[in-house]
Amino acid sequence: MFIDILRNVATYGIFFSYVSIASIPLIILIFLPHSWPWIKFLYWSLIKWTSKILLCATFLPVTYQGIEPLPQKPVIFIANHESSLDIPLVASVIEDRPCVWLAKADLWNYPVLKQLLGHSGIPVSFEERTGVVQKGVDKLNTGYSVMIFPEGGRYNDGKIHPFSSGFAAMAKLSGAPIIPLYISGTGKAMPMGQHTIIQTPLIITVGKPMTCGENESIEEFKKRVRDWYVELNWRRDFLLNRFGIRICKNAASIEQVG
């Protein structure tokens, strides 16, 4: 218990220290024109290292599975959503690739966040979603990748919840591949509404690119992608809960949970 308190104190100490240092160059880069290549490079490099530093500051063990060279062209990243820790975990996979995230429109009410999300976000309102898919397609066509949590909220009950169709519609209209990211452990490490971190191993699995077929409907493609999550989630639960085994990258690296 005492060790956990020390870890959390250290985590928040690193977090606030880093934010106080990195916020100045980040704010400067936000207001400079991103049509300049070197400004764009510096901005996304800072985002990359911020995600890595904040993830390391949690002191949580992270396992990456299925990491392969990702397509160089713009892609649509999607992930199940368990916790706010998902954001730096997913960002550590995206790295410095220019990418916009679909996020709730309420975040645009905060002045600094509004400027930051102006470069890296697309607002989504539960009352008005018209145009969100087209905005995502436009970003894909201009060289940006898109990141979506298709469940539309955070859930830490161990289940894969229904997906919205937005990501599938973007894939159909743009031809961009889907890169599915399966997250495990963040919901236990930091459940929604909790501000302390519990030592829990985190796993993120990067699936192979999935493309919407020419004769495949949006709903069929959505189901095919979600089925990948449901199967992987079932396998994780079966091995972890019944045998205490965590799925790793290959059979040789299967890890026994103590």
CA quadruple 38, 24, 74, 88: dihedral, nearest 10: 140
* Maximum mean pLDDT: which of 77-81, 109-113, 123-127, 249-253: 77-81
pLDDT in tens, 151-188: 988 998 889 999 999 999 999 999 999 999 999 999 99
pLDDT in tens, 5-21: 899 999 999 999 998 99
pLDDT band at 110 (very low <50, low <70, confident <90, very high): confident
pLDDT at residue 130 in the model: 67
Checking if the pLDDT of 50 tops 80, the result is yes
The token pair that represents 50 in the structure block: 């911020």
pLDDT at residue 40 in the model: 87
Mention the CATH class of domain 2-221.
alpha beta
pLDDT band at 125 (very low <50, low <70, confident <90, very high): confident
pLDDT at residue 73 in the model: 94
pLDDT at residue 254 in the model: 33
Instruction: Quote the CA–CA distance of 183 and 240 in Å, as a whole number.
Output: 14
pLDDT band at 67 (very low <50, low <70, confident <90, very high): confident
- 3-class DSSP assignment, residue 128: coil
Checking if the pLDDT of 229 tops 60, the result is yes
pLDDT at residue 251 in the model: 31
**Percent of all residues in the chain with a pLDDT value above 70, rounded to a whole number:** 90
CA distances (Å), origin 127, targets 60, 152, 165: 37, 13, 16
pLDDT at residue 136 in the model: 95
**Percent of all residues in the chain with a pLDDT value above 90, rounded to a whole number:** 61
The token pair that represents 49 in the structure block: 């290292």
Domain boundaries, the chain: 2-221
pLDDT at residue 249 in the model: 43
Integer-rounded Cα Rg, in Å, for the chain is 19
pLDDT at residue 145 in the model: 97
Lowest mean pLDDT among 43-47, 77-81, 136-140: 43-47
pLDDT in tens, 88-107: 999 999 999 999 999 888 88
Instruction: Quote the CA–CA distance of 50 and 95 in Å, as a whole number.
Output: 10
Backbone angles phi, psi at 91, to 5 degrees: -60, -30
Q: Report the amino acid identity of residue 189.
A: A
pLDDT at residue 66 in the model: 84
> What average pLDDT does range 229-234 have in this prediction?
92
In the predicted model, what is the mean pLDDT of the chain? 87
Lowest mean pLDDT among 62-71, 193-202, 224-233, 234-243: 234-243
